[in-house]
Amino acid sequence: PRPDVTLCLYGEGADTEGALRESLNLAAVAMLPVVFDRENNRSGMSTSTKRSMGVRQIAERAVACAMPGVTVDGSDFSALAEAVARAWGGEGASLVESLTCRWRRHSKSDRHRDRPKEEIDS
């Protein structure tokens, strides 16, 4: 078993970057002890993920790298614990998509155009 595991936290804005896909592939090929945790609030800086991604859930991309990928409620940490245990056991990388909510704007220039008024109010 490995004593070290890297937890890579990132948001859905990184999903359209080539560096993320390269990182997933490298981690899978080299059997690295990495857990990729995508914190998904369903909105990049000003673009809904419905308009920026071809897949519905990012966990589907794990299949292309032959690694486990799951989509879970972001307040449930059991999937992360399982992925860490898998990495500690020498079984390589995993991808966890944690669904969450965005409480505020990304910045003052974010006009919430991609979010329904009801969601912002709630």
Q: Residue 6: pLDDT above 90?
A: yes
Measure the CA–CA gap between 95 and 70, rounded to whole angstroms.
Answer: 7
pTM to 2 decimal places: 0.78
Measure the CA–CA gap between 84 and 92, rounded to whole angstroms.
Answer: 9
**Residues 33-54: what's their mean pLDDT?**
74
Strand (E) or helix (H) holding 72: strand 69-73
- CB-based burial label for 27 (10 Å; 0-12, 13-18, 19+): buried
Averaged pLDDT score across all residues of the chain: 81
CA 120 to chain centre: 22
The pLDDT score that the predictor gives to residue 21 is 86
